[in-house]
Amino acid sequence: MLRHYYITDRLEDLAQVEQALISQGMLDSQIHVLSEQDAEVAMLQLHEVESVLKKDVIHSTKIGAMVGCVLAIITLLFAYFMNWFNSPSGWLPFVFLSIIIIGFCTWEGGFIGIQTDNINFRRFKRLLTNGMHVLFVDIEPKQKFTLDSVIKEFPSIQAQGTGDASPHWVVYGRDKYQTFMKSMP
């Protein structure tokens, strides 16, 4: 899947684009609106970006976990080369220390991420601050014509490039989850 980004200053146009795309067969979970005007987005019932995804929690947590793994390996190698594992307690304290290091670095990465903007949306920060809204659509290659034909009808919406999309299984899994939640009492 490929993510297409568009900007506009008119939320009403985004509502019409979203309805047109859904009527053409796209899923709700493929379409998102990023805006600093959350109340207006909710009032127009647009599919907004979840607040946790506006922050860099997931990306930073992954980085923290990778740093933690590297530090854990260094800790274990240090214990090995210093022959500390030959003590009566053996490897146990070093394995526990490594697990604690991985956990702490992962937690710290997430803590840092919750305080920073999502890495994928940083390029739009200035536009969002100036009252613009970002529409992004995750599409399959066969849906490109549909997206282009709908966007063409709205001259106020400007293309802003493409990027990595959510994996196919995530988009369709989110759609199945939303369908399930709507059908439950």
pLDDT at position 121: 83
Q: Residue 32 and residue 136: Cα distance in Å, rounded?
A: 5
pLDDT at position 106: 97
Q: Residue 18 and residue 154: Cα distance in Å, rounded?
A: 12
The structure tokens 């536009």 sit at: 127
Query: Can you spell out the DSSP letters for 100-152?
Result: HHHHHHHHHHHHHHTTSB-TTTGGGHHHHHTT-EEEEEEE-GGGHHHHHHHHH
Exposed / middle / buried, residue 35 (Cβ in 10 Å: 0-12, 13-18, 19+): buried
pLDDT at position 180: 86
Given CA atoms 33, 28, 52, 182 in this order, what sign does their dihedral have? positive
Taking only the tens of pLDDT, the chain with its 185 residues reads: 888 999 998 888 888 989 998 888 888 888 888 888 888 888 888 888 877 778 889 899 999 999 999 999 999 999 999 998 888 888 999 999 999 999 999 999 999 999 998 888 888 889 888 888 999 888 888 888 888 888 998 888 888 888 887 777 887 888 888 888 888 87
Instruction: Please name the residue ranges forming H helices in the chain.
Output: 11-23, 38-43, 51-54, 57-81, 92-113, 125-129, 144-152, 168-183
Q: Residue 74 and residue 77: Cα distance in Å, rounded?
A: 5
52-65 burial, b at 16+ Cβ within 10 Å, e below that, comes to ebbbbbebbbebbb
